[in-house]
Structure 1
Amino acid sequence: MCLATPAVFAQQSAADFYKRGVQAYGRGDDASALSSFQQASKLDPNNPEYQNAVGQALFKQGRPAEAIPYFRHALKLRPDLAVIHAYLGQALLADHQADAAISEYRIAVKMAPNEVEANRGLGRSLSTKGDLDGAIAVYRSALETNSQSAPLHDDLGSLLAQKKDFVAAQQQFEQALKLDRQYEPAHFHLGVALLSQDKDPEAMLSLQEAVRLAPNDVAAHFFLGRVLETLGDNANALQNYKDAAQRSSEFPGLQERLGLTAQRVGEMPTAISAFQKAIAQSPQNPDLHNDLGLAFMQAGDGEGAIREFNQALNLKPEDVGYLGNLGAAYLQLSEFDNAVDNFRKALQIAPANASLHHDLALTLKLKDDLAGAAAELREAIRLDPKLYDAHYTLGVTLWQQGEFPAAVEELEAALAQKPDYAEAYYTLGTVYKQMNKPRESAEALRSALKIQPDFAGAHTTLAAVLRQLGDTAGASEEARIGAELAKKKTGMQAAVFATNSGIRLLNAGDLDGAVSQFRRATESAPDYAMGHFQLATALSRQGKRDEADAEFSKAATLDPHLKTQK
């Protein structure tokens, strides 16, 4: 009888452990697979297959530094195995040893010149070192004998895109997809290349296909969001950013785009949260603090806005935009002196900035310094004659000073630049009414109503003008429409429209007109927090503190992000 030696038993046992490791891999149990492969390698340390298996298992778990010695041991046993040289190159590259990785991949390619993955690894290693031309040469050489490899075409296209040769890159991505329509990386890379060429509709289709094939591809969701933003589809862009953030909240640039898009569609809690996460990743980026400040302002949190704008200015003290935004935040809180100080600081740096002169004028107007406001508005118009808001605000200011002909001139100048400016037509109609020019007044008010049919204040004023003209029936009809609009709840869209209109009137200093529009907003959508908030702001500026406090309270109840102003 022949007895087995201990060495034979060890080899048999090692083979059993190796088999168990393969089975564990098959059922997705990576930890058990690694343990079994390690047992096999201990029992039979001279088997290169077992050493290689441990290295691959460690690499799969994201432990390249630990994998490297196993691959080296395997190569001592079988230096002629090209695939293990490639595996070692892969681990070295992941361990940030690009030069050593290049050496191993070159050996692998020399041994097996037609091996696709070895060539891809060499190309990646060279590109990591910044040798794009060398990497491109590797891919072109590999494609001479592997022209049907979609991954090689895709990798070559990616390198060409890095060199800004997007046309040639696009050709490589399209060739990859001819070979394999299901190869998701090529759809993704083609989409990005098309986006870089401003071919937005085509880019969208490619990126949508990438997302369909690989729903967890964070980059595909991110760039699909970018192209949808460019195409004006903010709602779907936002959804793709949210999908990306659910999978990887730290993807570069994602939180900023998520915040900006959420802000654009009015999802202020989402915007604020995204900007806060972006700042946590890049606390020294002043633009992110500025973005968060603007989001706080839009949410009605002037104090939060001031804090962020000051942080931005700590990082970049001479930035005119940040100073202007800080002034606007103080203006939102009715801290007019602080607002004036910051607008003037900004103008010391940028005296030719027409918008800053306009913002300073609005603040001076609210301080009842009408002469100072008019001077700033005229300077804004001198610097930028097309700044229609400056013409409009100057028109309102002149009207309030009793200078009716000059007011008409400025309001008409605003309308020449912005023909769909309903508030300017409304104010023009009001001025003509006070000038005892009812026909001109009626024409202007009707123009306002063509643009904004549910402008309750315009209907009411038109009713009075028509009564003056002797058109009793027309006056009754306009009064009826105005009364119905005051009662009618037409929903969120009307509320948003009325609120935006009210903000323009408020900024121009027409407090009565602003209050009318904000009341219209809250009647259209009683649960619209921003309508209540803006109504409270206007009432506060009228000195109606009790009414303002009640509206601030309603706004804060509906949306806790809206802060009550004291």
Structure 2
Amino acid sequence: MAHSRPLPRPEVRCLVASILVTSAFSPALRGGQSGDSRGCLSKNPAAQFLKQAQDPRGSTDSRLSAYDKAVELCPNDLSLYIELTTLLVRTQRTQQALVWARRGLARWPGNRDLSRSLGVALLAEGHPQRALEVLQALPPDPQTTFELGMAHRALGDHANAQKELASAYAAGRKDPYLLYALVQEDRALGDREAGLKHFSALERDFPDSAWDHLLMGDVYADRHDSLGATREYRAAVAAQPSIPIAHFHLGRLAFDRGAYSEAASEFREELRLNPTFGDAHLYLGEALIRQAKNVEAVDQLKQAIALSPNSALAYQALATAQNASGHPDAALATLREGQTRFPQDGAFPAQLARLLLGQGRSVEAAQQAALAEELSQRNNPLHYAHKTSQGNATATPSSESEKVTVASQASHDRTTIDSALAPLRRCVEQKDTRCATAELARIHEVKVIVRVLRTEADGFFQV
């Protein structure tokens, strides 16, 4: 059975930040952990700050400020560190959570609650291996097992993710997201029997839940049924307005059909819910470029890079927006930075060559074009061998086609494919027949992608 397309890492990060940190996160406060500092917190002004910090009706900023002041007055109270890091994790301020968890662990080494906060924050910040090491040192319980499953999931270790998540569910952690994640891991492993079992449990135990609809949306999307996918994702939002990923998927579907204004609205809503979701910033930036809103696109794409610095596509899109908004020097700097970070990616020298040529710097442009050609041949040996056998070894695929080839051989993630096909879409939008014909001829591996995606969709068990 064909395996499903693996979940892109940024999406896992988004789900970790939005689901893991708002799940049953209940540190064991009080209970003799705080030494003699209880007396400190029982007196004003510390007592007043503690009351304000623990008031769920207060704003997050006001509560965090109150915790800071309480810690200043009562620095030896372990419970303050635990409550503060827990609030930071719950509100997705995971960088601050890392600081406070480490500060607390320096005073109370091995504390279970602070270690758990540290592990969850590391996972949410995109450091799954380090999170795994922290979480594996904790005593086993259903919550820790669930978190271990999420760490394995973020690492792409589907077998261990399936094992830990299934164990957490069997141990009594009953929630629809866990089952949703389990089905995703079952799909990745091609485990039809487990997938049907966990899908049936989701439908039985959580009928008409947001996660049930989200999963069905994924099923329709993998079958290229955009209407069915849209219907289910909207049902997921209706059932749980704060559910992560659903607006992102809706935006991507709108993006695919060229409804860029609608797509941008969906991506903005996703970012309202999940401001650290790098892929949503990237897609929003791409949607804005397609609406000629390049200045806005620059801001979004800079955030995408800050959140996902290993996204080559974000650098390329940012350079496009910078150049289109009248800042070619900034575009050059972005491309050179990307080229340094991704030296084997032929898209960077190809884009640099075009930009340099437009500035009349023909010698530098020729050097970059030669490098793009070299990398393209190195990254696509089978294609060039085929061209050589036909007596046409000099054919040069576009940098975008190279991205398509890489995608067809790797994860086939939709962001990569969409960006690779963007030049062709622009030609079609402008009704430029010559441009479209030339671009279509250069995208020589599209048939491979279509075939692979169709195979993956066929591998999704029937439900």
- Name the structure 2 match of 1:64: 131
* Percent of residue pairs bearing the same amino acid type: 18
Give TM-score scaled by structure 2 length. 0.54
1:297 aligns to 2:352 (yes or no): no
- Name the structure 2 match of 1:123: 183
1:108 aligns to 2:168 (yes or no): yes
The structure whose residues are more often helix, as a share, is 1
Post-superposition offset of 1:174:
0.3
- Distance between the aligned counterparts of 2:315 and 2:193, measured in 1? 34
- Name the structure 2 match of 1:254: 314
Evaluate the alpha carbon distance shift between residue 268 and residue 37 of structure 1 in structure 2; reply closer, same or farther with a 3 A threshold.
closer
Structure 1 residue aligned with 2:285, among 225, 232, 238?
A: 225
Once the two structures are superposed, what CA deviation does each residue of 1:275-304 show, in whole Å capped at 9, x if it has no partner?
223322332333321210110111232232
Post-superposition offset of 1:195:
1.9
- Distance between the aligned counterparts of 1:235 and 1:12, measured in 2? 54
- Distance between the aligned counterparts of 1:111 and 1:266, measured in 2? 58
1:307 aligns to 2:374 (yes or no): no
- Distance between the aligned counterparts of 1:91 and 1:248, measured in 2? 18
Evaluate the alpha carbon distance shift between residue 134 and residue 289 of structure 1 in structure 2; reply closer, same or farther with a 3 A threshold.
farther
Question: Counterpart amino acid of 1:58?
Answer: G
* CA RMSD in angstroms, aligned pairs only: 3.9
Post-superposition offset of 1:128:
4.8
Structure 2 residue aligned with 1:187, among 247, 250, 254?
A: 247
Evaluate the alpha carbon distance shift between residue 94 and residue 239 of structure 1 in structure 2; reply closer, same or farther with a 3 A threshold.
closer
- Distance between the aligned counterparts of 1:12 and 1:212, measured in 2? 38
Question: Counterpart amino acid of 1:290?
Answer: A
Once the two structures are superposed, what CA deviation does each residue of 1:43-83 show, in whole Å capped at 9, x if it has no partner?
xxxxxxx6476345334234223224334xx23xxxxx533
Once the two structures are superposed, what CA deviation does each residue of 1:74-101 show, in whole Å capped at 9, x if it has no partner?
23xxxxx533432332344345543233
Q: Which moved more, 1:191-200 or 1:207-216?
A: 207-216
1:279 aligns to 2:347 (yes or no): no
- Distance between the aligned counterparts of 1:142 and 1:67, measured in 2? 30
Evaluate the alpha carbon distance shift between residue 285 and residue 251 of structure 1 in structure 2; reply closer, same or farther with a 3 A threshold.
closer
Post-superposition offset of 1:257:
1.7
Post-superposition offset of 1:157:
2.8
Evaluate the alpha carbon distance shift between residue 109 and residue 251 of structure 1 in structure 2; reply closer, same or farther with a 3 A threshold.
same
Post-superposition offset of 1:223:
1.0
Question: Counterpart amino acid of 2:374?
Answer: N
Question: Counterpart amino acid of 1:125?
Answer: E
Post-superposition offset of 1:273:
1.9
SS at match of 2:245: helix
Once the two structures are superposed, what CA deviation does each residue of 1:390-439 show, in whole Å capped at 9, x if it has no partner?
xxxxxxxxxxxxxxxxxxxxxxxxxxxxxxxxxxxxxxxxxxxxxxxxxx
The runs of 4+ residues in structure 1 deviating greater than 6 Å are 37-42
The answer to whether the Cα contact below 8 Å between 1:203 and 1:227 also exists between their aligned partners in 2 is yes
The answer to whether the Cα contact below 8 Å between 2:149 and 2:161 also exists between their aligned partners in 1 is yes
- Distance between the aligned counterparts of 1:293 and 1:101, measured in 2? 44
The answer to whether the Cα contact below 8 Å between 1:195 and 1:227 also exists between their aligned partners in 2 is yes
Structure 1 residue aligned with 2:202, among 142, 146, 162?
A: 142
SS at match of 2:343: coil
Higher RCO (C-alpha under 8 Å, 6+ residues apart)? 2
Give TM-score scaled by structure 1 length. 0.45
The answer to whether the Cα contact below 8 Å between 1:90 and 1:101 also exists between their aligned partners in 2 is yes
1:154 aligns to 2:214 (yes or no): yes
- Name the structure 1 match of 2:421: none
- Distance between the aligned counterparts of 1:229 and 1:258, measured in 2? 9
Runs of 5+ unmatched residues, structure 2 = 1-29, 36-76, 89-96, 379-391, 396-432, 435-463
5 Å-filtered alignment, 1:194-205, equals 194-205=254-265
Structure 1 residue aligned with 2:236, among 176, 180, 188?
A: 176
Question: Counterpart amino acid of 1:297?
Answer: L
Structure 1 residue aligned with 2:115, among 45, 48, 54?
A: 54
1:207 aligns to 2:267 (yes or no): yes
